[in-house]
Structure 1
């Protein structure tokens, strides 16, 4: 028998409940997310206060030490643990429980990530790794920092492999059937991750670790930067695609209708697989040593990513309009008012989607050869980063945890928790809106990124810049208030009152649910070949030129 919870959505039957053993693995990952959010958010607040020129860090803490902590703990630790936890929950939900081997592999991956995180964090805390989350050469950290990051990446490989094995086991047990969309999406994200992390893994194992321990004297700076951005832009999509999973698969179920198109959803993910990796050089448009032709080619490939983004926007807003029409909307935009604005599980991701509109437009500017000249290395880039990752991704993660945590802990989403989720959405949006707007405006005025007032105070525009830095601090305060709300909410979702019925992990059906896949869409050999082919086209010549045209290796400098 099914019952209704307070939001009016139907509770589902026991066959759609995540296995409790899988749930414990998921919860372990999610606890790291909460811890990382609090630590990284505190570091972010302090950063904005320092940049405003009105605050000095106590206890000898360095600004770049704080900046590194903020970047690593939020951009790498929080996201990686959430993605591994959510994707494990996703495959368990739609494919069935992991077996003993798959679950053990997931736990091994979790402990690799945990040990690596603690190792890297120790180096940052002792000011031996103030190299930012991008850790470019010639900045040099203690070798244990790079070892820690390597362990984190290996941990993601292991957990991702457990998910892939479960997905492939479902396919072998259900030959001829279309795989569950959510499991297919997880597989795409993981395959992309395997391919793109080859760059950062080779960079750390063969260059940074030997260099930082003194086993070699020099390092090829241009090669390390190129390999980092081979990984670094795909990293953005590794963060983003789990949010897309929630948008495509969970949001339609939350609002109570079918998703628009299973086939379009799969196509968009395949296009992200193809075009998210061979585009990293658009982060290096102003750097010497890379031929203009290859920069231009990667700019074109970057613009190709717009296509699956537009497919996603069309699919989602078609879903929302369909919902609105069913609620009686008649005008052109009247459906917008009919959306379930009282359900935090919907509002959190939806507010994130709205942020992604200006975020996408800013991305087009960043990737454009001439327009990039204006904003490159200004705080505009930081503002763009926050409204693409810090808003759509993080807000969607919050929304997912609203249904995922009570599902795996057996707790109930009370009306007060739902209200707290709504406050979280709007407070986060206010803080991020104020802060990112100030960053974009002052970035257009030339204010540099990664710097403080004490460093640019002599610039003729410093006094004009400082007012916008104060705006950033105001936005940072609102964001910190939102973080306190989020941490409080997550603790309640884990420790709150038990529920008589398990809260739903929403997975929607689609209008074309029964239509067969296009034959090549799950031909993984073909998909991987196309992905590797595009990577080879985009990177073979640029990397070979680094060696053949003698773009010099550079000795590093110790910054501790």
Structure 2
């Protein structure tokens, strides 16, 4: 059993904190760009100094959806491995630092091109939009740097397994490795399209690009990216939150199985983002839609496990009745309150995701701002509120400080502010999307149609919500800076929950990495091989990016 008093090693703490510094800088810059976007869409604000709307849109998407999430997740995973699988070896730590600096250099390169107006291509960077070559090179470096960090994690995890043959691996370490396997397999798609298609095209080495293949490779990555955002949050939900509330983990085996299922059903499903695109056989789209809906199973497993843990805790405190346990939860603890609000908001977010992935319903909302509203419920609320909740205990643990009552109260206020702001912004995005408001357009491009006039109140509501959210960003940055540099010195626990005594024993088949990665490979081959061959064989004239390889 893990000793709960074990602290993350100071050298490992510095590594994790370096990732968090980049993540919170990205939050500020990307959040500022998001605020300006909502103000422009309201029609009441004009951008100064020649700043372009799509320049802001690219900054917002890249820094928040890619940089913030990736750096925070990797920092959290390293801290979790150090806590539960032992201090990183000097070689592993050096490899991790190399990964960090490669990612940071790539981030700086990409951000510079966007800020100079040379890469206003959005975070999806769809062709035929073209950016400066340094933009794509920077993206490639971010991916390669994350791979280096992933290999460092695998090496550390392998060392623990070698030293503890036949034992069940620590749950947080298991989840960390599963998350990085998902990331490495998913990023093969974006790495392929950037290296083989976009970089040669941006340098002028080829004249054209196969748009369908580039979009397919992007969405092979783009959908599991959502689960790379979510799985670190799920780690906190499954393992940390039960300890925070004073309860137990409902089931170790169920937690591991849910992560396996997320791995299997999150990658071979990219076509559900391409349901309206020609060139992909409808039968293959249907197969991937079915696989997409399979992810509902581990999602419901997670909901059941979490609320079972809450109820077990409440009953242990004397709660009676169907929902009596609800009152026993520690609502005044920001470490619990922020992630719990993220859990609640994931309910409408998941419902919206089902609509996005459905053949017929997708036709109603495809490429409307509904989709943007959905992303803001998932990554910008469920994931970020959980990340904030993690930061409230992990940052002081790593820096040797404690969160004061004043900071805890401010964190509660921050969570409420964020929830209110997102209620304004995401709800208005969903309603505007149902009225046909486009996903990526500024107010000035709407024209004077009667339909566009219907969208204006919702765009103003988005601006109100964006302004409230920016206040939330300022509040969380104040808390982060305090916990990193100014909070009183002291000991803060890294909360790792214990499994309930009545839980079933974890079967060792869940530790069979070769089996589950093999099943994943088979699913990917089934879902993509024939459609991909068809795309290449029937590529339009001049689409050399892949066809010239045959």
Q: TM-score scaled by structure 2?
A: 0.97
Partner of 2:330: 340
Of 123, 130, 141, which aligns to 1:133?
123
Q: 1:260-283 CA deviation, whole Å, 9 max, x = no partner?
A: 000000000000111110001000
- Coordinate RMSD, CA, aligned: 1.5
Contact 1:220–1:552 under 8 Å retained in 2: no
Partner of 2:274: 284
Match of 2:450, SS state, is coil
Partner of 2:499: 510
Partner of 2:38: 48
- Equivalents in 1 of 2:272, 2:228: separation in Å? 18
Runs (5+) with no aligned partner, structure 2: 546-550
Contact 1:178–1:516 under 8 Å retained in 2: no
Match of 1:16, SS state, is coil
Q: 1:224-270 CA deviation, whole Å, 9 max, x = no partner?
A: 00000001001110111000000000000000011100000000000
Measure how far apart 1:211 and its partner are.
0.4
CA distance change for structure 1 residues 375 and 553 in 2, over 3 Å: closer, same or farther? farther
Runs of 4+ with >6 A deviation:
none
Of 277, 284, 296, which aligns to 1:294?
284
Contact 1:167–1:187 under 8 Å retained in 2: yes
Tell me whether 547-556 or 167-176 shows the greater mean CA deviation.
547-556
Measure how far apart 1:520 and its partner are.
2.0
Partner of 2:185: 195
Partner of 2:548: none
Q: 1:285-308 CA deviation, whole Å, 9 max, x = no partner?
A: 000000000000000000000000
- Equivalents in 2 of 1:499, 1:262: separation in Å? 34
Of 229, 237, 240, which aligns to 1:250?
240
Contact 1:114–1:152 under 8 Å retained in 2: yes
- Equivalents in 1 of 2:101, 2:502: separation in Å? 38
Measure how far apart 1:512 and its partner are.
5.4
Of 74, 92, 109, which aligns to 1:84?
74
Partner of 1:143: 133
Match of 2:285, SS state, is helix
- Equivalents in 1 of 2:502, 2:223: separation in Å? 32
Asked if residue 523 in structure 1 is aligned to residue 523 in structure 2, the reply is no
Partner of 1:212: 202
Match of 1:56, SS state, is coil
Partner of 2:412: 422
Of 442, 447, 462, which aligns to 1:457?
447
Of 517, 520, 531, which aligns to 1:542?
531
- Equivalents in 2 of 1:379, 1:514: separation in Å? 44
Q: How does 1:86-101 map to 2 (within 5 A)?
A: 86-101=76-91
Asked if residue 481 in structure 1 is aligned to residue 471 in structure 2, the reply is yes
Asked if residue 112 in structure 1 is aligned to residue 68 in structure 2, the reply is no
- Equivalents in 1 of 2:147, 2:511: separation in Å? 21
Q: 1:363-385 CA deviation, whole Å, 9 max, x = no partner?
A: 00000000000000000000001
- Equivalents in 1 of 2:410, 2:55: separation in Å? 33
Contact 1:453–1:462 under 8 Å retained in 2: no
- Equivalents in 1 of 2:540, 2:98: separation in Å? 40
Q: 1:289-335 CA deviation, whole Å, 9 max, x = no partner?
A: 00000000000000000000000000001111122222332122222
CA distance change for structure 1 residues 171 and 555 in 2, over 3 Å: closer, same or farther? closer
Q: How does 1:17-56 map to 2 (within 5 A)?
A: 17-56=7-46
Contact 1:219–1:555 under 8 Å retained in 2: yes
Runs (5+) with no aligned partner, structure 1: 1-11
Q: How does 1:353-432 map to 2 (within 5 A)?
A: 353-432=343-422
Measure how far apart 1:14 and its partner are.
8.0
Contact 1:43–1:70 under 8 Å retained in 2: yes
Measure how far apart 1:515 and its partner are.
5.2
Contact 1:407–1:505 under 8 Å retained in 2: yes
Contact 2:251–2:504 under 8 Å retained in 1: no
- Equivalents in 1 of 2:75, 2:465: separation in Å? 30
Partner of 1:64: 54
Measure how far apart 1:15 and its partner are.
4.9
Partner of 1:493: 483
- Equivalents in 2 of 1:207, 1:513: separation in Å? 54
- Equivalents in 2 of 1:88, 1:512: separation in Å? 28
Q: 1:74-133 CA deviation, whole Å, 9 max, x = no partner?
A: 011101110110000000000110000000011000100110011001100110000000
Partner of 1:331: 321
- Equivalents in 1 of 2:229, 2:18: separation in Å? 19
